[in-house]
Structure formats: structure tokens, C-alpha cells
Amino acid sequence: MAIEKRKERNESGMDIYTPFKEMQRMIDRLFEEFPYEWPTLSKSIDEVIAPMDIFETDKGYEIEAEVPGMSKDDIEVNVSDRVLTIKGEKTDERKEEKKGARILERSYGTFERSFTLPDDADPEKIEAKYENGVLKLVIPKRPESKSKKVKIEIK
């Protein structure tokens, strides 16, 4: 049995390792560009995150946004050209004085999230409710968009 040297090129003359070399370069570039610092718990302006859950029901859509520490006056909800925008600004200031020590802490931040509404959503009838740090939006579907079941006669 003869030992045959491994071919470095395929039938077209291309180096068989080229796709793998390119993939390695892409992975290296991904890690080079990856952020060196992970977000911390202390958020500065424009870094407040409002986690949101979106649900579809038979009657419409629901969005629940977690915005703890804000009041309903700190939050603004708008719809323009079928784009729903939720934005808010958090300002928190705490002062404490104990046994001659004075502590003053401030945190500020804003957030903005936008969603394109589905074609069957009715932006004119959106309802918003804020309670216990959760903003809940109910976006009804248009009545004409609800699917009808039609029986088709087979001939």
C-alpha cells in the first residue's frame, strides 16, 4: 500500500483550506470588535434599558414594558406612520444624612424603543396603562382584518 500525499488544491486549482481560513478571519474580527466592557448596573444617560414583552391575541396585540422607578409622567407613547414609539426619562435622586455623614446619589437615563405596527393593528384605539413599574399597551386589531371562515364548495 502506497502512502499518498494529501492534495492541497481541488480540481479547479483552488486551495482547499481557503473557506476555513476566511471563516477564521471572520471569527477573529468578531472577537476584536466585541465590546471590552460589559454593561454595568450603573447606567448613564441613554443607557436605560426597558425590557419589553409582545404578545398577539385574537383581539389584538399587547406590549408590556418594564420601567421601574418611573412615573407615568416620565413616559411618552406616540404613533406616527404606523411606527409606535415608547420613550422615557428616569431621574432618581436620593439624599441621606446619618450621624454627620451626608450621602447624595443621582442617576439619570433615557430610553426609546420603536416598533412598526402590523397592518391589521388599529393605532387609533391603543390603550395604555401604567401600574407598579409596568407599562401595558393594548393595541386592538381592526374588525375587518379578522379572518372569516368561508366554506368553499367543491364541484
pTM score, whole prediction = 0.57
Lowest mean pLDDT among 10-19, 29-38, 80-89, 97-106: 29-38
Q: Average pLDDT in the 62-86 region?
A: 90
* Alpha carbon 35 to chain centroid, angstroms: 18
Looking at per-residue confidence, does 22 or 31 come out higher? 22
Domains of the chain from N-terminus onward: 52-143 (2.60.40.790)
Beta bridge partners of 109: 90
pLDDT over 90 (residue 148): no
Q: What is the dihedral of CA 89, 95, 96, 97, to 10 degrees?
A: 170
101-116 vs 60-66, strand pairing mode: unpaired
Region of residue 140 (phi > 0: left; psi between -120 and 50: alpha; otherwise: beta): beta
The pLDDT of residue 138 is above 90: yes
Average pLDDT value for residue range 130-145? 88
- Please state, in angstroms and rounded to a whole number, the distance separating the CA atoms of residues 68 and 107: 13
